[in-house]
Amino acid sequence: MVDNDADSMPPCRVVHVVPKADYGFGFRFGRAGTHPLQAWNGELPGTMPMLAGTEEAPCAILCYRGDYWVTSWGDNRIERYTPQRNGAATVTSVREDAIVGNSMFRPVDMAIAPDGSMYVTDWVDRSYNVHRKGRIWRIRLA
């Protein structure tokens, strides 16, 4: 799962979902993320650490060929995270910038086609308004 909007406690994060686990953030403590009973990376006993910190505004996560691919709308890129075991209960990861675009590349979502290529929706513009500039990219991965 990807966690967007870190409020005052960046980075945004990818978390390894474990049933009934505590990931450290409880809205009952407010939005700032700075309450002493909140954790962001497993720093409190009994809370799960993040799999990885992501760049700004992750919108989607896709498991593909054993890696996690994450769109970073705010930083114009698609990141790939290779999971590695971290003890018996969870994983961590190594990050790689898989695709880096210019300021007009705003990846939002991804899907895998039957032939194994990846489709990526691109919002294009930093504006949130509907602007009809969007694109769809087809990426063939080696």
Report the number of distinct structural domains present in the chain. Answer: 1
The pTM score is 0.82
- pLDDT tens per residue, range 96-136: 999 999 999 999 999 999 999 999 999 999 888 889 999 99
C-alpha of 141 from chain center: 20
Q: Which CATH number goes with the domain that contains 104?
A: 2.120.10.30
Kindly state the DSSP code that residue 6 receives in the 8-state scheme: -
Q: Is the pLDDT of residue 89 over 70?
A: no
pLDDT confidence bin for 6, thresholds 50/70/90: low
Q: How far apart are CA 84 and CA 55, in angstroms?
A: 20
Q: How far apart are CA 14 and CA 29, in angstroms?
A: 21
The residues that bridge with 54 in the sheet, in sequence order, are 12
**Owning domain of residue 133:** 2-139
